[in-house]
Amino acid sequence: MTSPDAVMKESNTGLFNQLLKEFSDLTIDIAEISKHCSDPFFIALLLFQLAKEREHTNKLLEEINKKLSAQQSQRWPQLEEQTILSEADQRIIALAEQKGMINAQDVKELLAYNCVNAGSQRLNKLFREGHLAKVRSGKKVFFVVKKTSLLPTPNHPQK
C-alpha cells in the first residue's frame, strides 16, 4: 500500500514536469537579469521601461473609465434637480413679482405672522436657495425675485 505522502509526491512531480519548461525559461531570464543588477545603466533602463508600461496602463484605465461613464450616462441620464416651493413661499414670490421688491414686514402681513422675524427668516431661506436677491437700502433689506418657481401657478408659468 502506498502512503498518502507518496501519492502527493507523485502528483507534485507530474505537475512540476508540466511546468518545468515555463519554469526553466523564467529562471533563465532571471539569471540573465541578475548578471546585470550591479550596472546602474541597466537599472535605469528597467525603471524607464517600468514607467512606460505604467503610463500605458494608466491610459488604458482612463479609456475604460470614459467608456464606463458614457455607458452609465446613457443608462441613467442625469435628472435636473428641481425644487417645488411651498404654498407660502410661492405667495411670497408672487408678492415680490407684483410689488417689485418686498421686505420682512410685507411677509408678516401677507402670511399673518405675529412678528417680523418669521418673515425675515422665510425671506433669507428663499435668498439662500437662490429664488430671491437681497438689496440693502440703509438699514432696510429688500428682496427681489431672482428666478421663477418651478411649480406652475397662475402667476408663475412653468419653464
Angle, in degrees to the nearest 10, between helices 116-128 and 104-111: 110
> If pLDDT is split at 50, 70 and 90, which confidence band does 153 have?
very low
Residues of the chain with CATH 1.10.10.10: 87-145
Higher-pLDDT residue of 104 and 84 is 104
Flag whether pLDDT at 158 surpasses 60.
no
Residue 55 or residue 7, greater confidence: 55
* Identity of the amino acid at 90: Q
Whether the pLDDT of residue 95 is over 90: the answer is yes
Q: Give how far the C-alpha of residue 20 lies from the chain's centroid of Cα atoms, to the nearest Å.
A: 49
Handedness of CA 105, 106, 109, 114 (dihedral sign): negative
Looking at residue 86, the DSSP 8-state letter turns out to be -
17 or 115: which leads in pLDDT: 115
Q: How far apart are CA 13 and CA 127, in angstroms?
A: 79
Mean pLDDT in residue range 40-66 = 92
CATH topology of domain 87-145: Arc Repressor Mutant, subunit A (1.10.10)
pLDDT band, residue 98 (cuts 50/70/90): very high
Indicate whether 107 pLDDT > 70. yes
* pLDDT score of 23: 72
Looking at residues 98-107, what average pLDDT do you find?
93
Give phi and psi for 103, each to the nearest 5. -130, -175
- Start-end of H helices in the chain: 4-35, 40-75, 87-99, 104-111, 116-128
**What are the angstrom distances between the C-alpha of 36 and each of 7, 40, 45, 127, 131?**
42, 9, 11, 71, 71
Q: Quote the pTM value.
A: 0.44
pLDDT beyond 90 at 30: no
Question: What phi, psi does 142 have (nearest 5°)?
Answer: -115, 155
